[in-house]
Every structure is written in C-alpha cells, then in structure tokens.
C-alpha cells in the first residue's frame, strides 16, 4: 500500500486526541501514544505532559504520521462504540477549531454558498494537497468531492466529511447531517459525501 503524501495542520488531530482523553483518561491516552511508532512520536514531538500533547495546532505534519495516530485512536474505541464515537468526534474537533471570535465571525459571514465558492481556500488551510469540488444539488443539499488527494487516508477522509455537519451548524443551519457516498479507499475515482440541512 502506498504511503500517503502531503501534510495536514495539527489542529484537528490535536482536538481528536484531546477528545479521546476526556473519554478514557490520561493514562489510557499515554498507552495509546506508546503504541505509536518511534518515528510518529518523534515527528509529532508528542509529549503527554505538554498542552495538547505537544501537537501544535498551526504546525504542518505529514499525513501518514497523523493517519497513524488517528488509527491508534480508533483502535482504542471498542467496535460497538465506534459509530457513536465518529458522530461525536467532529463536534469536538469543530468546537476546538471554531472557538471564540472565529466562531462568531463564521456564524455571521459563513453560508453554504460561501462554502461552495471558497471550498478550495478552506481546504488549503488544513491540507497542502488535493482539490475540492462542491455542487448545489437542490435547496438544502450539497455534494462535496475530494480529488487528487495524495495525502488521502480512509479515516481522515471520513472525519473531514463528518466535520461538515457541525461546520454548517456553526453557520446557523439546522438539522444538518452528512451521508458518506464513496471513497478512493474502496476503489472509487474520488471521494464524495452529501451534506443536508433545512433550507431557510
């Protein structure tokens, strides 16, 4: 299997690890960290005693390294609890990355049409490769597609799509939900999902 290329910002990965800590406690997260390869721990400069475990929100990290950490986080969740975990985790990620004044500004100026028109700009703030395409399918429904993402990882892809629901709620949209459609990890030509909300 080809190792993902590219880089990702530390903010969502750090938020995901902090979310897991709140569920299982610091000692269990330390054990999770110990399960990582020496290379991953070194590249993340991970430190259980540091704020955010030493992961810097604004720093760029190799996608393959972050993918290893995300996979370790998923393994720490019992299989019967994983569906609920992946529904709750995006809320925690967006709460951490859209906080304070940023959340207030996003609510005032954010909109589904802005997301459609500036989707690549939003993407480039978190990933250093890949293309995003957004289509309005009907009122209250958009399709989001990820293309040419050399840094693609199955779980990172899933999380990124699922974060659309709390992101749209931060814009003030109601009854948001995401339907995952296809993923290159299963042989699809690109990844896609639809985001649904109640039109105003």
Quick: pLDDT tens for 11-37. Answer: 999 999 999 999 999 999 999 999 999
Closest by alpha carbon to 180, among 90, 96, 113, 70? Answer: 90
Lowest-pLDDT range of 78-82, 88-92, 102-106, 162-166:
102-106
Q: How far apart are CA 92 and CA 88, in angstroms?
A: 7
Q: Answer yes or no: pTM beyond 0.85.
A: yes
Q: How confident is the model at residue 104 (pLDDT cuts 50, 70, 90)?
A: low
Q: How confident is the model at residue 108 (pLDDT cuts 50, 70, 90)?
A: low
Q: Mean pLDDT for the chain? A: 91
Position 110 scores a pLDDT of 80
- Dihedral, CA of residue 130, residue 134, residue 135 and residue 136, to nearest 10: 170
Q: How far apart are CA 165 and CA 163, in angstroms?
A: 5
Please say if the pLDDT value at position 62 is more than 90: yes
Give 81: exposed, middle or buried? Use CB within 10 Å, 0-12, 13-18, 19+.
Answer: exposed
Tokens of 150: 């050399």
Q: What is the pLDDT of residues 74-90, one digit of tens each?
A: 999 999 999 999 999 99
Position 47 scores a pLDDT of 92
Residues of the chain with CATH 3.90.1520.10: 100-198
Mean pLDDT of the region 186-196: 97
Please say if the pLDDT value at position 101 is more than 50: no
Mean pLDDT of the region 65-81: 96
Q: Does domain 100-198 have CATH number 3.90.1520.10?
A: yes
For β-strands 7-9 and 60-62, DSSP reports them as antiparallel
């Amino acid at each position: 299997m080809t190792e993902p290329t590219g880089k990702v910002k530390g903010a969502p990965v750090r938020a995901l690890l902090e979310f897991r800590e709140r569920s299982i406690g610091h000692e269990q997260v330390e054990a999770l960290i110990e399960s990582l390869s020496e290379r991953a721990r070194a590249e993340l400069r991970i430190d259980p005693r540091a704020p955010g475990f030493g992961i810097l929100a604004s720093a760029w990290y190799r996608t393959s390294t972050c993918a290893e950490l995300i996979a370790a986080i998923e393994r720490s969740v019992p299989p019967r609890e994983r569906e609920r975990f992946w529904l709750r985790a995006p809320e925690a990620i967006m709460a951490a990355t859209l906080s304070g004044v940023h959340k207030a500004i996003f609510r005032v100026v954010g909109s589904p049409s802005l997301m459609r028109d500036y989707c690549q700009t939003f993407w480039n703030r978190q990933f250093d490769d890949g293309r995003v395409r957004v289509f309005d399918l009907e009122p209250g429904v958009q399709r989001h597609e990820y293309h040419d993402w050399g840094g693609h990882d199955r779980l990172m892809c899933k999380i990124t799509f699922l974060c659309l629901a709390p992101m749209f709620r931060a814009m003030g949209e109601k009854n948001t939900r995401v339907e995952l459609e296809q993923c290159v990890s299963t042989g699809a030509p690109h990844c896609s999902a639809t985001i649904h909300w109640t039109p105003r």
